[in-house]
Amino acid sequence: MSGAATSETAGVEWRLAAPLGLTYLAFFAAPLLILLVMSFSVDDNLGGFSLAAWAKFWGDPFYRGVVWDTLRLGLVTVAMTTLFAYPIALLFIASGPGLQRLLLFIVLLPLLTSVVIRTFAWIAILSREGVLNQALLALGLTTAPLNLLQTELGLVIALMQIEMPLMLLPLITVMQQIDPSLSDASRALGGSKWRTFRKVILPLSLPGWIAGATLVFASATTAFISQTVIGGARLVYLPTLIWQQAMVVYNWPFAAVASVTLLVAVLAGVSLFAMLGRFARTTA
Amino acid sequence: MTRQLNTPMDRGYSLVMGTLAVIGLGILIVPVIIVLLSSFTSSTVLKFPPPGFSLRWYEALLDPVRSRHVHVALSNSLWVALSATALAAILATLAALALNRVSRPSARALEAGFLSPLILPGLAFGLATLMYFSILGFRPSLNLLIAGHIVVIAPFIFRTTLASLTQLDPALHESSASLGAGRLYTFRRITLPIIAPGIAAGAFLAFVASMDNVPVSLFLSNARTNMLPIRMWGMMETTLDVRVAAMSGALIVVVLVLMIVMDRLTNLTRRMSM
């Protein structure tokens, strides 16, 4: 009611954030600071100052290629996830309550299934003797089994299952808020279904897509298990590189450089999506 | 004039969107079904469809001698997930109460900070915690894993609790206070019952996230403090151990049951799509 009373309560309750704040300071901010310092160190005891690890990482075309491959994997996964998420979201909006419940269940189940299990399943599907190759051979769509493990295509397919729920949940939420009479009006005025989708549904659902794309990009670029198991030794992404350097080669400053690079790359990608959202809102 | 008749282009639209939706749903659900069916295979190799059905891999998984390492990893994971979820629930609920309806820029910044582990690459954070603890001279232990997991899973509870707090009518607080109720009494009798489903839904997601966490556990666990996902990853990398399928089958059933129970209690599906 009175401004003084509410600001007083706010002042008292403000302190309730302190326990989590201090926990984050001790176990989140401090470790990340150490990571940054480590990337400028000579050895894994934080001794000395050196740009050697940074120079080695960015001076080598192989490592620059790994950064590029990781970013591309994130973007391709976002694109492929979008391709299938929109039709599922449209189906969801057009369904009755019973079917909606079933669809939500299908969307949530992979999200709550262990990432190791999901990756394991994709090996059974994508391998040379796997389900997909058996089906393709039986249908006569291919004469020799396709090699999908250790390829970017196979990895993106496997990642799609893991990432699609992250795209679908915000997308469905936003699309449920779109007034159906807008689509009806577009149709009544002679707009084709394609045109209605492009001119009404796509622009109005953009905030949901951006929220989903951000999560998918952040998650796909750091999906260590899928990248190592499906990608194998042939495809190297930043998370695999970080793990090898930290736990196999024991070159901590170098692993720290790769980690800081991954952090900055993901943050840059996420900011890009946020900027896209602001741009879309101002021009819409 | 009401609706247009379906033109060939419109039929094409329905066909394309329908096909993509079916393929998309297949990508989501078929792998789960395949793992469930493969876990009952009688064969020693993972092959689909299984040549015959048996419970041998479930028996192997329950065998206390052969699967001792799996059992240790499972109990470690359960202990870490339960402890981290309980502590994160308390910390995140307090933080959500503090930041609810405070619109100062500093509060918004703090909120973004508390949510940031959802976006930041977990692997970079996992390595950071390993370096941090090793420089402080701590030896790997389950307590360090709990600390690392709290940071990663607290955002889930913070987010759902914050969302349920926005549904709390401030007039309820004022009327409770004007009737002479103390702040703690008001919290216990008014606020907590209203936000409890939000906390529970967040805690469920947090628990699942902790049980499934790879990036932090990968760096902070060792042979003694092995965690379930890391153990399963190891079993998958060396030999395509069919026990992983049995473990997967068991976990999928547990998650299914939990999902149905949580949905009844907290309307989880609706909360997750918020």
pLDDT given for residue A88 in this prediction: 96
Q: Is the Cβ–Cβ distance between A239 and A222 less than 8 Å? A: yes
Q: Half-sphere exposure (CA, 13 Å, Cβ side) for A67? A: 19
Task: Taking the CA atoms of A142, A147, A149 and A153 in sequence, report the sign of the dihedral they define.
Answer: negative
Nearest by CB: B95 against A20, A86, A113:
A20
Q: Does B158 touch chain A (CB under 8 A)?
A: yes
Q: Does B91 touch chain A (CB under 8 A)?
A: yes
Please tell me whether residues A115 and A10 are part of one structural domain.
no
| Least Cα separation, residue B231 to chain A (angstroms) | 10
pLDDT at A25 over 90: yes
Question: What span, in angstroms and rounded, lies between the C-alpha atoms of B32 and B24?
Answer: 14
| Least Cα separation, residue B63 to chain A (angstroms) | 21
List pLDDT tens digits, range A74-109: 999 999 999 999 999 999 998 988 899 899 889 988
| Least Cα separation, residue A282 to chain B (angstroms) | 22
Nearest by CB: A20 against B27, B29, B114:
B114
In this prediction, residue A130 has a pLDDT band, given cuts at 50, 70 and 90, of confident
Q: Do A34 and B128 touch (CB under 8 A)?
A: yes
Q: Do A32 and B236 touch (CB under 8 A)?
A: no
Q: Do A256 and B2 touch (CB under 8 A)?
A: no
Number of structural domains (chain A) is 2
Tell me the chain B residues in contact with residue A120 when contact means C-beta distances shorter than 8 Å.
Answer: 35, 232, 236, 244-245, 248
Q: Do A192 and B10 touch (CB under 8 A)?
A: yes
Nearest to B43 by CA among B264, B245, B272: B245
C-alpha triplet B197, B78, B233: angle, nearest 5°: 115
How is B109-130 classified by DSSP, letter by letter?
HHHHHHHGGGTS-HHHHHHHHH
Please state the length of chain B.
274
Taking one residue from A and the other from B, the number of pairs with CB-CB distance under 8 angstroms is 279
Please tell me whether residues A243 and A275 are part of one structural domain.
yes
Please tell me whether residues A103 and A20 are part of one structural domain.
no
Task: Report chain A's C-alpha Rg in angstroms.
Answer: 23
Q: Do B120 and A124 touch (CB under 8 A)?
A: no
Range with the lowest mean pLDDT among A21-35, A205-219, B137-151, B179-193? B179-193
Q: Searching chain A, which residue's CA lies closest to the CA of residue B208?
A: A112
Coil, helix or strand for B53? strand
Q: Does B103 touch chain A (CB under 8 A)?
A: no
Please tell me whether residues A163 and A204 are part of one structural domain.
yes
Domain assignment present for residue A271? The answer is yes
Distant-in-sequence, close-in-space partners of B153: CB < 8 Å, separation ≥ 6: B84, B85, B88, B205, B206, B207, B209, B210, B213
Q: How many CB atoms lie within 10 A of CB A67?
A: 19
Nearest by CB: A17 against B95, B236, B273:
B95
Kind and range of the H or E element at B38? helix B8-38
Please tell me whether residues A56 and A154 are part of one structural domain.
yes
Question: What span, in angstroms and rounded, lies between the C-alpha atoms of B86 and B91?
Answer: 9
Q: Name the one residue in this structure whose structure tokens are 């720290």.
A: A256
Q: Name the one residue in this structure whose structure tokens are 């064969």.
A: B43
Please tell me whether residues A2 and A63 are part of one structural domain.
no
Tell me the chain B residues in contact with residue A113 when contact means C-beta distances shorter than 8 Å.
Answer: 32, 248, 251-252, 255
- Determine the average pLDDT of the residues in A104-121: 85
Kind and range of the H or E element at B45? none
List, as ranges, residues 178-217 from A with C-beta within 8 Å of B: 184, 187-188, 190, 192-194, 197, 214-215
Please tell me whether residues A8 and A86 are part of one structural domain.
no
Looking up residue A140, the CATH number of its domain turns out to be 1.10.3720.10
Q: Does B138 touch chain A (CB under 8 A)?
A: no
| Least Cα separation, residue A161 to chain B (angstroms) | 5
> In the structure encoding, which two tokens stand for residue A174, read together?
């936003």
List, as ranges, residues 197-236 from B with C-beta within 8 Å of A: 208, 211-212, 214-215, 218-219, 229, 232-233, 236
Please tell me whether residues A158 and A122 are part of one structural domain.
yes
Domain ranges of chain B: 64-272
Residuewise pLDDT in 10s, chain B (274 residues): 445 556 888 888 889 999 999 999 999 999 988 888 888 888 877 777 788 888 888 888 888 888 888 999 999 999 999 999 999 999 999 999 998 877 788 888 999 999 999 989 999 999 999 999 999 999 889 999 999 999 999 999 999 999 888 877 778 777 887 888 888 888 888 888 888 988 998 999 899 999 999 999 999 998 888 999 999 888 887 766 788 888 888 888 888 888 888 777 776 666 665 4
Please tell me whether residues A168 and A117 are part of one structural domain.
yes
Q: List the domain range (segments joined by +) for residue A20.
A: 1-39
Nearest by CB: A109 against B32, B119, B123:
B32
Q: What is the dihedral of CA B257, B260, B266, B272, to 10 degrees?
A: 100
Question: What span, in angstroms and rounded, lies between the C-alpha atoms of A143 and A137?
Answer: 6
Please tell me whether residues A5 and A90 are part of one structural domain.
no
Task: Identify the DSSP state of A247.
Answer: I
Nearest by CB: A117 against B114, B240, B251:
B251
Q: How many CB atoms lie within 10 A of CB B271?
A: 21
Q: Do B135 and A87 touch (CB under 8 A)?
A: no
Please tell me whether residues A22 and A61 are part of one structural domain.
no
pLDDT given for residue A12 in this prediction: 53
Question: What span, in angstroms and rounded, lies between the C-alpha atoms of B126 and B150?
Answer: 12
Nearest by CB: A84 against B24, B91, B110:
B24
Tell me the chain A residues in contact with residue B23 when contact means C-beta distances shorter than 8 Å.
Answer: 84
Number of H helices, E strands in chain B: 13, 0
Task: Identify the DSSP state of A205.
Answer: T
Please tell me whether residues A62 and A129 are part of one structural domain.
yes
pLDDT given for residue A284 in this prediction: 53
Evaluate whether ipTM surpasses 0.85.
yes
Domain assignment present for residue A255? The answer is yes
Q: Do A239 and B128 touch (CB under 8 A)?
A: no
Q: Does A137 touch chain B (CB under 8 A)?
A: no
Q: Which CATH superfamily is domain B64-272 in?
A: MetI-like (1.10.3720.10)
